[in-house]
Structure formats: structure tokens, C-alpha cells
Amino acid sequence: MTDVSGAAEGTGLPSVIRLGTRGSTLALAQAGHMADALQEVSGIRVELVPITSEGDVNRASLSVIGGQGVFAGSLRTALLDGRCDVVVHSLKDLPTIPAEGLVVAAVPEREDPRDVLCAPSGTTLDSLPAGSKVGTGSPRRIAQLAARRPDLEIVDIRGNVDSRLARVHSGELDAVVLSLAGLERIGRTDEVAEHLDLAAWPTAPGQGALAIEVRAEDARHLFEPYPEPTPLGAAVAALTDPIAVGETTAERAVLRGLGAGCTAPVAVSASVQEGTLRVHAAVYAPRGEQSVDEEGSASFDPADPASLDRAAEALAGELVERLLAGGAADLAPVGAAS
């Protein structure tokens, strides 16, 4: 991260930076980490502003209310209304279509994007007895579970991480599938029974990454003819990690290119190593009966972050073409706005 604390001496930064976040335990934990980082680079105290989203109060299935937008919309409204100065999202919850007047100014260093099985110690997905009840609220995970273990009973659940784990502890469920990054952020990795390998189990585009969004005027350096951000925009931009940006750009470009709606069971996992970007994308039928998988790689100049972004967009476009040619549109609801 770049130190821009000198900006605090000018008039461009407020006396307190108000950071909007959802109010769940996980959201507050990850927002707290971002608040500490933003305070370090800006020299300004950062205050959390909890915002209630539709996804926090509506307990209907994500397949009904949608998985994106329902968590981000209220945060974005609060930012536009001036109730906060910046907002932090789980990137996988953020629609791929930008919100008018807002800009994602930073994607910080990414946590491990893998899914994990949370179950009694020693249990793996393959060792669960037939008929075991496994909970998840994700259409993607439902499809993957059904494809891997059609003999399981998959229970569509909602709720925060603690409540989902409590249903395993009580015996109501035999296991749940969760994001490893979320468990790491709240210190609950002792609940993990199995890490699900990305090669066989790609995850949601942007999983494990956070996005910090600001009003467009604070990120004006991204638009011509303005070469410089405001002091607030510079502080936020200092938190960004080029590798995380490149990986998530590729993943979200596949989602956007497919026109996949919030309920489409689509998985995309990207990784960057030594000048090579690799992407694995899959589209599933809702109950996992069939799937279309495509993988690809592209080279880029490690010294040029823009080179990675260009490679990400180009490779994503190629994979979208191949997925559609392989019949993805016949399996899942792609072609809708995301």
C-alpha cells in the first residue's frame, strides 16, 4: 500500500471518514479491517456506519430474491445520499453493471477464494452418508453439490455464518458449505472439515475479495480529463492490489459476458502466477445434471498492471464464447442483466 497520509493535512479529507457496511458479524469484521487500513494510509479516523440491506431482512431464498444487488443496493444508496463517504462490499455480492455516480476505487489483497465444508471433524464431502442434509443458500453451490453427490439432501438455507454453523452443531444439518475467507475474517476456521479444491470446485466470481466504492467525483482520476483523484480517492486507491484486481476482473468479465443473472449457477476462478493468468469457468444446470467447463490462460507483463487487466478482459471474452458454444445457455438462465 502507498502512504498518502500527507493528504490529511489539506482540506480535501473530512475530519472523520465514514465507512458504510452491512451490519452482520462478518461484514463488520471485514469492514473493520478495511477501516484500520484506510486510517493508516490517510491519517484520518475511520468510523463504521452499519447499513441494513434487503438481503439482511428478507429471508426468502436467494434463488427467489437474487444474490446480487440485494446486499449492495442499500449501501450504494447511503453513499449517494451522503450518509457515508465510502462503502465496503464483498465483491461477489456486487453487480457487474456499475452504479451511476459510483466507482469501485480499490480491490484490496484477496483472501483464499475456496469453499469449505463445515461438518463434524474428519468428515469430507465424499464421506458423508447418503441422505445427509447439507445446507447452502447459493444456487451455484446447490448445483455443484447435486452434481458431486446426488444422493445428498440439499437444504436451501439463509442466515449469517454463526446461525448456519449452529444448525450443524445442533444436528439439524449434517454439514454446510461456506466461504473460507468469511470464516477466516471472523476467526472460525476451526469449523472447517474440508477445503474444496478450486480445480474441481470453482467458486463465485470475486469470492474472497472486497471492493471499496466511492462517489465518482472522488475517483475522477479514472475519467478524462481529470488526472488526479481527491485526497479521499487517493487514500482508498492506495489500498488496491493489482493481482486481486486482475483476477476479479477476469472472473466478473465472464459473468458479465454471459449476461448471467443472480440466480444462475455460474462459477469462475482465476489465479495469477509469474506473468500468467489462468481462468476456470463453469456453468451448471440448476440441479447439477450437466455442466459446461472451460479453462484458459494468458500471458501479461508483471510490471504493467494495465497489461493484466487487458489480458483478463480478453481471456474472459474467449471463455464466454466457448461456454456459449458448448451449450451454457441451454443449462442455466444466462442472457439476463447482472
- Per-residue pLDDT, 296: 98
- Overall fold of domain 115-195: D-Maltodextrin-Binding Protein; domain 2 (3.40.190)
- Per-residue pLDDT, 223: 66
d(CA 210, CA 123): 30
Beta strand 153-156 pairing with 102-106 = unpaired
- The amino acid that residue 234 corresponds to is A
- Per-residue pLDDT, 12: 66
- Per-residue pLDDT, 58: 41
Neighbours of 2 (CB within 10 A): 11
pLDDT tens for the chain, 338 residues long, are 444 444 444 446 789 999 999 999 999 999 999 999 999 999 999 999 999 865 444 444 444 434 445 578 999 999 999 999 999 999 998 999 889 999 999 999 999 999 999 999 889 999 999 999 999 999 999 999 999 999 999 999 988 999 999 999 999 999 999 999 999 999 999 999 999 999 999 999 999 999 999 999 898 766 666 667 789 999 999 999 999 999 999 999 999 999 986 678 999 999 999 999 999 999 999 999 999 999 999 999 999 989 999 999 999 999 999 999 999 999 988 865 44
- Overall fold of domain 245-331: Double Stranded RNA Binding Domain (3.30.160)
Q: Is the dihedral of CA 16, 21, 27, 30 positive or negative?
A: negative
By annotation, the residues acting in catalysis are 92-93, 140-141, 158, 164, 262
d(CA 82, CA 80): 5
User: Residue 272: which region, alpha, beta or left (left: phi > 0; alpha: psi -120 to 50)?
Assistant: beta
Q: Beta-strand (E) ranges in the chain?
A: 16-22, 45-51, 86-90, 102-106, 115-118, 133-136, 153-156, 175-179, 192-195, 210-215, 266-273, 276-284, 291-299
- Per-residue pLDDT, 260: 84
Q: Is the overall model pTM greater than 0.85, yes or no?
A: yes
Element of type H or E holding 243: helix 242-258
Task: Kindly state the cell numbers that stand for 180.
Answer: 473460507
**CATH code for the part of the protein at 5-110+209-240:** 3.40.190.10
In the chain, CATH 3.30.160.40 covers 245-331
Which among 2, 45, 8, 3 has a CA at the least distance from the CA of 232? Answer: 8
In the chain, CATH 3.40.190.10 covers 5-110+209-240, 115-195
Q: Is the peptide bond before 108 cis (omega within 30 degrees of 0)?
A: no
Task: Kindly state the cell numbers that stand for 262.
Answer: 443472480
- Per-residue pLDDT, 239: 96
d(CA 56, CA 225): 40
- Per-residue pLDDT, 53: 60
**Contact present, 87 and 19 (Cβ < 8 Å):** yes
d(CA 86, CA 204): 24
Query: How would you label 101-115 residue by residue, b for 16+ Cβ within 10 Å and e otherwise?
Result: ebbbbbbbebbbbbb
Query: How would you label 28-61 residue by residue, b for 16+ Cβ within 10 Å and e otherwise?
Result: bbbbbebbebbbebbebebebbebebebbeeeeb
